Structure 1
Amino acid sequence: MKFQFKIQPFQTEAAESVVKVFAGQTKHGESKYRRDTGKLERTILDDEDFENAYRNADVELSKEHLLKNIRAVQMENNIKYSPELAAGLGAVSLDIEMETGTGKTYVYIKTMFELHKTYGWSKFIVVVPSVAIREGVKKSFEITQEHFMELYGLKARFFVYNSSNLHQLDEFSQNSGINVMIINTQAFNTTMNEEKNVEGRSGNEAARIIYTKRDEFGSRRPIDVIKANRPIIILDEPQKMGGAATQNALKKNFSPLFSLNYSATHKTSHNLIYVLDALDAFKKKLVKKIEVKGFELKNLSGTNGYMYLSDIVLDKRKPPRARLEFEVSRIAGVPKRETHLLDVGDSLYTASKGLEQYKSVSIAEIDPIRALVTFTNGENLRAGEASGNVNEGDIRRIQIRETIASHFDKEEKLFEQGIKCLSLFFIDEVAKYRQYGDDGEELLGEYGRIFEEEYIGALNERLTFFPTDYQAYLRGIETAATHRGYFSIDKKGRAMDSAVKRGSEFSNDISAYDLILKNKEHLLSYDEPTRFIFSHSALREGWDNPNVFQICTLKHSENATTKRQEVGRGLRLCVNSKGERQDLEVCGESLVQAVNMLTVVASESYARFVADLQSEIKSDLYERPTKASLEYFAGRIVSIGDETHSFTAAEATAIYNYLVRNEYVDDDGGITDTYRNAAGAGSLAPLKSELEPFTDSVHKLVQAIFDPSILRDMAGNGHDTKVKENPLNENWKDFKELWERINKKYAYTVEFDSDELIQKSIIAVNAELRVATLSYTITRGGQEGAEFNVERTETKKLARSQGGFAEYDLIGKIADGTTLTRRTVTAVLKGINREKLWLFRENPEEFIAKVCGIINRQKASVVVEHITYAPSAEEPYSQDIFNMSRSSDEYAKAFRAKHSIQDYVFTDGSATDSIERRFVGDLDVADEVVVYAKLPRGPRGFYIPTPVGNYSPDWAISFKKGAVKHIFFIAETKGTMDSLEIRPIEQAKISCAKKLFNEISTTGVKYHDVDNYQSLLTVMETL
């Protein structure tokens, strides 16, 4: 698999922002200089001692010119003006702020190509604070090389600085194209602690080499060769390199032309020219949405027995059930913890097989909206809460279990789209995952054992007798092969804890990153069984994989910064098996974040985790205005075409009044949901004519105002049942007349001649009944050498002796299957041909099933002719039936309606070409339709009783014809109108509905089945 890259507007804007800062700079083709080759033996200098090399041309612009350009870029990007050029490295230091996961490495590589194309600059040094980030940068250069070759027609020559391979510096100088050196601070900062680098030397030793004359380098200092190139310095994560020693070394020894600083969390401000912060990235759907599965202990007063509420299970066919883990008594006397699905009224005392700690504790209520279970003692548990005797081992097991559950939930849906799902566990001690025996064999640690136990249990729940492609994929993966650890490796090849220098946050041991980075693409292949990754907590930055969908921290909670770094490993938008990024353009507005959802399984409560995460994000946000006001708009300079305009006080007043008039701001100047909804729907009210040319600029300013609601939306509670409200809307008032007409419950009676059913059944059984004879096959063959060859096979009928039959209540079984009396069934069996009756002996089970089916079809046709309906004494339906729970994935596929009684309509087929989806699409835009509703199905929904089962019609529709409203009730949207292609039982139900509404009922509601909206119009015209 190969990653596919495409040009994205925000990345282009970031690169162009840098290029525009140097507007007016002359483009220099190749800036040559005479470079001393450092020959070891010479008496006088001559031309042979020098060679042509290439360096960056000087910045020709004055400080005033640079500041003017910077302010122009800041104005265009709605960034606060810089009062002056900030002190930094070289002529100017520019800050580019980009949220983790949005591709900042891609952006600065693209910026190199743009600077080379526009100004001829070609020497770049990428400085990083750690080996992890260095290796990640190197990987990004490798996988984007072909992409940039297609865009610019040339390749960037890149290498990682290594004091053992100093000849690369000569090539860096001699080459006239784009040349990039990647270096980590330990290679040149002599104040660093003794830390091993890639070539095995200590950090201080490697750093001294760059500053000393080397015999193997022609008695030259490597730093002098670097300095002569006047490189453009790019600092990746500059906030980690802000120390005086590092900054002084870069400034004094590298002699940079200028510097570019790329980070999501700048700590030291220079001249900021581009911002894509966490709020922007989330709002523009450039990163995954986050959901958090927190864990919380709760002491219930009513019981001291262990209980953990995993979630509430929703099923269209059943009421909500609680997935509860508790202790169950075993024969040996030692309770074992088990997970069961429990209904309202279920007793934990009974379910636990009589454990005293659960005595008198039953489930009183299951609330799917609040993910809450209430017990008969008045106490309650929310999803993700545990009570009773809970230790740290329990917490870790629950975390691993929840991670696996989330993985399976997402993986099954993503599999259909060709998107491989990965989960990442952070641990703080390698021995908890992997250990070694006396003879060096690898053994599973505590977490490894727990993972395999929980994985096997979860896998067995997923596998069914009706295998799908996804289940075939699961069956083909060995449990031991689907999880893998990525750790530092010692000299014996054993995994070990990553070495982290004192006072640092990350490891500089390259062995810890090799497998993850080198296997980045391979990990996304279905040929690679690894789906669950265990990694040392020190590896929380510097690498990522776009298809990490679950992150679990199996360690004690740390600070908020750590949380954000770990979450950042999974923020990048995912790719499919072709390497195509699943972004807004590919997935669409409604699905992009449904596909791209990162679940974080935390070891603390949801509230605490999210509060820390939001606090860290908010503290790192670019300084934003907090409210709309006259002062905010007055004097703002905006661009229109190639010109600029400064808003006058009168224009600022007009803008503010526009916002107030349309209720786009509240009394405090905060942006309202009315504005956000209108902006999202593209239905913002127009500005006054004199301000109309500035529409885009005005709304860009409004949307730059800090919106705390986005911060709240960024991380949802992963334990929620994903139930959304789909309330009745304003269209309900137009629907009430129709609802009052159909909101009745009916009872039916059927009076028919039993002889008629008996005769029809006898004729049908004689004509249709076929039963397969039980048989067996004999295979004969012989062995030739090591092979066995089949010579012939023979299939024989399975002969049964009379005494070999199991006892069957033939009449009773058929009576149960047809809801007829034993007398009627006996009459049918007596009337059929003897050879048909004796088929029972050939295959009893198939005989009973087929006879029941034939009789039921005849019964359906008979009862419809004789059925009558009358209103029952039951209470009418509540309008609450329209608010039955739907799951989140259904919402992502729902139809967004205008004329329905609810904003979302859930069709039986979610595909855009399904029968119901096409029908509701036509229905929603038709002028003749006043209002319509999709009637809810199931035992708690709207249904018509029939002798062959309850029947739920599809649609209730109110039409208008001229000035008169016609109430029309359509039962079904079928793929065909041919009754021969509709199953007899289903046809009988439709016929019962037709008889009720078109012949018996006096409500004025009419019924028909149609295959499309045009058929409906044709039927309506005949009424």
Structure 2
Amino acid sequence: MELILQPSLPHQQTGVDAVADVFTDTAIKSPTMFYANPEIILSKDGVGQNIVAIQKRNSIQPENCAYSHDASCLNLDIKMETGTGKTYVYTRTMYELHKRYGINKFIVAVPTLPIKAGARQFMEDGYVKRHFRDVCGYDAEIELLTLEPPKKKKKGRQYFPAAVSEFVKGSNRDTKKIYVLLVNMQLLKVAKNYMLSRDDYGSVIEGFYRPFDALRATRPFVIIDEPHKFSRDQKAFGVIKEEINPQCIIRYGATFPETVSGRGKNKTVVHDYLNLLYDLNACEAFNQGLIKGVAKEHFEPVSKKEEKIKLLSVVKNEKAIFQHKSADSPTKTYQLQVNDSLSVISEEFNGITIQAIDKNAIELSNGLIKNVGEEMNVDIYMQSYQEQMLRLALERHFETERENFCGRTFKIKTLALFFIDDITSYRESEDGKKPYLLEAFERLLKEKLVATIKDLDKSEAEYREYLEASLNHIDECHGGYFAQDNSSSDEDIANEVNDILNGKKHLLAFRDKDGKYILRRFLFSKWTLKEGWDNPNVFTIAKLRSSGSETSKLQEVGRGLRLPVDECGNRISNQEFMLNYIVDFTEADFANKLVEQINSEVPGTTSVSLEQIKLVAEKMGKEEKALFIELLSKNYIDLEHNIIPANKTQFFEEYPLFKSGLDASKIKDRNKTSEKPIGIRKARFDEIKELWKVLNQRYTIWYDDNIDDDLEKGLSEILEAPSIFSEQVISSHRDIVRSDGAQMRTETGSGVQYSIASTLPYGIFLKRISSATNIPASMIHKSICNYVKRHGSIDDKYFNEQTVGEIIRGFSDWKMATLQGRFNYKKTHGQPEATALTHNDGSVRESIAQGRIGVKIEEGIPMEKYLYDTKAYDSSLELKNINTSIDEVIVYGKIPRNSIAIPTITGESYSPDFMYVVKKDNGEKELNIVVETKGVENKSTLRGIEEAKIKCAEVFFNNLSAQGYNVYFRTQLNNKKILQIVKEVLQE
């Protein structure tokens, strides 16, 4: 098949015109030497005015619009999100600059070999050349010269690098040729005897002894791909500026370098743009449907036993000390060296070894860098967890593939990409034994193929044929690429690598030239397919183990964001497509982080729309008109909704929703990072300190003496409950990233559930239940033996985490139903401790963290009787209480979150919401009231656990009253006012 490139796509044409129009009606001097470009006279032409006009035309934000003038070199920037066609745009820009101004010497600098291979493949491909010649009408062709390092140093005479020689010799009189030198970052480094900087060659090119001098003389235009890898303080960029000294540097990228200024609160981070001409950011790319959407999905932990290993310390190049923590065994420490396997600590880490030990970190064989103090969760390395991720990826793949094959006018070849961290888990060893990951994948693939074929109807006959061919040739359906493959002599592996790295069109086709199905569509790699490799028909990416990387989330999904092409090579842009992105549970927040990153790149605006005001007003709980008047009165906007330039910074600081476009959850996160301490009013605390002291006394819960007999009976009833012994089930959680037209957001999609074989040893099974319930293991064992006598033996597969959880939940329900009224509280004896409001000596603190009081803030000064100087709250009912003035109340305040730990029969502690000190009408006696606020209409709406905890609190406070403390506990529902509660207590 041939890929069909589309000319004049608006988002790509804008990028081409942005650069080409910079030189419109400017002074360009004809070259005096045949090998040089025409010369741009920056000091005499209108380049600066053109740049300003282009920035205005493309709505570049004011903060990025300053014209940056360099006397020796013009710098231009084009920002385009991953998957929107940067390579096409800069290639077409070279054609356009040649057509308009006769510029025919370009150097394309890329950071890595994969990007270099991708750029070379694109510019050399016949279909690309035909596109620019026949479709776009350019009467010229690119002569691509790729600079490669010398293979071996030869004795005797040395010659100029051939690529440089041909590039320099290329004549500007040949109007049919555009000379492009492709070079990667490593080859630009200046070092002694290095190929571009040395001057001892036995040949001379046009009078030049050094390759760098020859390149400088051509007055080239330099194009930099992935500028974040070429920051201006790096050596490679310095070499381009000083050694090559181009007339113009044009940078194309989704990510640009950042500059940091200031420290602490004054620290600011800005993108290092140089004459930014076009900004196609991620939000625009999603909003315009230029790339796929993203649906993230993960499985919850299988065991939930929190087994982890922690890197305690290192000695560079010598040893690393680990700590292994598990609920099932004592904490142990291990000392490992380079090349040692982590399987010594836990068998789940089989295949993971220590590659290097640095001063403060280690590097593992899977590419992870772990710093001292970091932990690794064992669950994600369990083979059973990996297997379910494979199964989920296949589920999503065939779900998508069936739609792409059977539900469209022209079929779309559907690919899936798996990132793993250990080549030995996929590549067969010399003894021919299949590794566990490969064996599991082929077994699961076979199962899924059989199930899918069985589900097809008569109208899907061709897809049935495709799947049956896959079933008969499982080994042809998948392939891998790993760095180690480069040194392999295996011909089959070499063909796989060539298919994945260079055979894009082959992978996209359904049949080869002989009509045989091309079945390879499941690709495995070890985090080596990053920038530079892409295939538009990747619809599923599965990170079988976390990369542990802080890499841009957009870069991580970038390999699958491009819009797909159909079997005829047409790019499909009029339909919505989704990239299935599967991660482990340690990256459960991936979708939120991706949304946050996308929205953070949305530039500030020069005006606000009515729709924005309405949206922000809703999120702030205000009326739309009231917010508009508020913005006007503060002189942030004018009557035409334009933002007042002088007040723009202050406006966005006070109303970040207008700039960031973040949804409510992101606002919540942002507020957390900007929370300020809330002051405690000392005079108010003095009036409530006695109640506070009583509430902070420590109590334990005591059950009736005859409870053990009932417990044995209760265990028997729990084991008889339906489905108490069940297979292990793992569930996935799916988040879909979508645009609502103005911002990105996440929504919950439908996940899947699978049963898995994950049996616990019987002793561990009993211990797990005992540690969670405090029931002796011997009593649990006795109950299970009695169950077996009644029903027969229990299959070992039912001794799993699922059954453990069901028994624990059953015991919790039994306690709530049985133990009410059969317990009491006893005060413990101990030394006074610091509390949320006081120091060790009992003196009041100056302030408390906002998060302990409430996540939301209402402006204004609280009532004089309120304990704190700020109105922080969690619910509207709480805010009503804070804003309610009651004559009988002396002082009141929110009880800091989790500060009062009342033990309950549920096994969880309990802390109420409000505390009040009130006086009777005659002022003779003070009473204390503790209130629990609930945003429901009646008690029947409360969940069982919540109701049980409240009943325990009633017993607790009745116990206090019996000891002579005047403390009344009340539950406040939505339909009851705090004044009613106070009046009721006063009347008792």
Q: Provide the TM-score with structure 1 as the length reference.
A: 0.47
